[in-house]
Structure 1
């Protein structure tokens, strides 16, 4: 994400007099290597450059060792990143008013944030927790009582807890016994790529299918390949691109065994520019995941006016209106996925209708400019006197 990297460099070497109030965006891997979380924060920071600069933002990479058996250079580098994050936040607490916007998922992300925020709290750091995990409640329930207590304390000390959808609002509030008055729902958002290109079918051109994401079992990649290889789909006119990291050779071998490899492309990891290019050239976005928070690729598909096929997991039901802005199929249901693929490949009028619905849905609610206004307002409210703080959910700041 080139522009995100440019932002980090500008933020770190800004020679202008910065506003006194600083928000530290804490994300493991930073903007370039932080996966969907890093991409979302990058989109936020890019979009706000065209707005009034009320606050100063700085990105902190909080990555740490994935596991104790990692290579020594990796462990040393990870500890350096993590130590730097602790040092920056600790020093900031003594220099100017600041808050931390801490992006969190389960597993190692939670452990690192526990250490970071425990130290930060000792210096008076105030923070927002932004939960991105596809099932944080399940992760929490799988931990020992002692760790559960630490996690609960960390969440209860947060000024605000941000979640991706209404389902997470219910699950996290119930599991951690948090008041909903201190939580907000903020759907992910992506930049507007501009009006969708003319997607009128070209005679003889195959329907272009696109998968964006880490190639894995959770994303339903094997099910997608099997649906494409089903008799009803296999002999239709289509080409598919599966873009993302993961065990590519494993899925390429499966595609070969299924007899569809010649119709597939596996470009590997792609940057933001390439994602936009792939979406521009595609007709259909397919993401048959078993679990998601709110997939960025679904929003990318909506923004480019693609016909979206996905599953009703996470916050997807809050994003996709069935048969209007996309098609929803049950997770793991290869037959239903195959039927949906047949429909969008064969029915050009359906693709056109879903394309228009997708674009309209994006403009209605998932443009990054709307995200900027809501998130920056949340941050600004944290610097206001305590008695002036609105209740975000009740006031509708972040619906």
Structure 2
């Protein structure tokens, strides 16, 4: 059905993040299956920090209305048979554009990808009257999608209850993280010195401030480093925090990095997020044989920990427990025993791409 037609992928922006990496990886997987894929960002396309970024059409819609008009016109003029949309803004704009196109007889299959914890999203929206109206609209638009993809079984359970979705609409498709056709991943080489790593947006929800607190509390037997990959609005505050905690000499803020190569030089990954769906970076670390310490912050994180024993969970937000876990890991640090082969069957590019094609070709609800 799709070998001679086009599938559109819609995402608000390609600024570096987990969902954005998933979008790029899915693009690669679909193209390798012979599908023509057009990647669209709702805002002006910018060069992103990825090892391979396909051609991107940026709609330049700084305002939601402009993005909606541009996407509707793009859909009407395209030969696409399906749309895969990412993140709440991308899903909302895509579904409204698809509904508008139906008024003139154009129909598209819509697969909406739910990357975040929907309960946290609902709670954040519903703090104000205006937010509650926006939440009702967002939930309605998810219900109008042909398929809603959830990236973990926990996220699927939440979506079923919170968005009131039909069972026939829901698909569990794990994120495409590992490239089946790349060389086997190599874990960090022992003897380089112990280094813990954080990789993510420097925003409140990602919890880097909690990690700095825990790192300053930990009583290590050596002097491990903490490497912070990523950028965001809290960077200056976090840099000052490392000075105030007396750990600035052992903390390096690396800025935007390419996760695929950057993780090869670290000993362990720490994921101190206050909330997550299914963290891509955890899967990448597991595939490299890296041990992972994370807060028990979501069903998706717990699901990964059940699948891979190299992931250690501590109580969400408890910096003392996080410090203790890092102390113990520093003493016993060794290869965690995972390899890319352990996770390819679940998190491979081609595996996910085939499942997305099945979702695009499923019967309507």
Give me the TM-score of the superposition, normalised by structure 1. Answer: 0.76
Query: Deviation at 1:289?
Result: 0.7
Q: Give the corresponding residue for 1:375.
A: 356
Query: Deviation at 1:323?
Result: 7.7
Q: 1:285 to 1:358 in 2, by over 3 A?
A: farther
Q: Give the corresponding residue for 2:231.
A: 245
Q: 1:317 to 1:57 in 2, by over 3 A?
A: same
Task: Please list, as runs of the form range in 1=range in 2, the aligned pairs for 1:177-216 lying within 5 A after superposition.
Answer: 177-192=164-179, 194-197=183-186, 199=188, 201-202=190-191, 205-216=192-203
Q: Distance in 1 between matches of 2:259 and 2:198?
A: 10
Unaligned runs of 5+ in 1: 1-17, 65-73, 392-399
Q: Give the corresponding residue for 2:325.
A: 340
Query: Deviation at 1:362?
Result: 2.3
Which deviations, in whole Å up to 9, do the C-alpha atoms of 1:224-250 show, x marking residues without a partner? Answer: 1111111513x6331121010112221
Unaligned runs of 5+ in 2: 45-59
Q: Give the corresponding residue for 1:159.
A: 146
The answer to whether the Cα contact below 8 Å between 1:114 and 1:150 also exists between their aligned partners in 2 is no
Q: Give the corresponding residue for 1:36.
A: 18
The answer to whether the Cα contact below 8 Å between 1:47 and 1:191 also exists between their aligned partners in 2 is no
Counterpart pick for 1:88 among 56, 70, 74: 74
Which deviations, in whole Å up to 9, do the C-alpha atoms of 1:236-286 show, x marking residues without a partner? Answer: 33112101011222111110111111111111122xxx3222211111011
Counterpart pick for 1:63 among 43, 46, 52: 43
Q: 1:220 to 1:141 in 2, by over 3 A?
A: same
Which deviations, in whole Å up to 9, do the C-alpha atoms of 1:188-223 show, x marking residues without a partner? Answer: 131345334365532xx4202111000122111111
Q: Give the corresponding residue for 1:220.
A: 207
Tell me whether 191-200 or 277-286 shows the greater mean CA deviation: 191-200
Query: Deviation at 1:148?
Result: 4.7
Counterpart pick for 1:45 among 27, 30, 36: 27
Which deviations, in whole Å up to 9, do the C-alpha atoms of 1:351-379 show, x marking residues without a partner? Answer: 32x2x136564234222222122112322
Q: Give the corresponding residue for 1:103.
A: 86
Q: 1:198 to 1:127 in 2, by over 3 A?
A: closer
Name the SS for the 1:236 alignment partner.
coil
Q: Distance in 1 between matches of 2:314 and 2:163?
A: 31
Specify the structure having the higher radius of gyration (Cα).
1
Q: Give the corresponding residue for 2:49.
A: none
Q: Distance in 2 between matches of 1:156 and 1:81?
A: 21
Q: Distance in 2 between matches of 1:84 and 1:190?
A: 30
Give the count of matched residue pairs: 339
Q: Distance in 1 between matches of 2:4 and 2:286?
A: 38
Name the SS for the 2:38 alignment partner.
strand
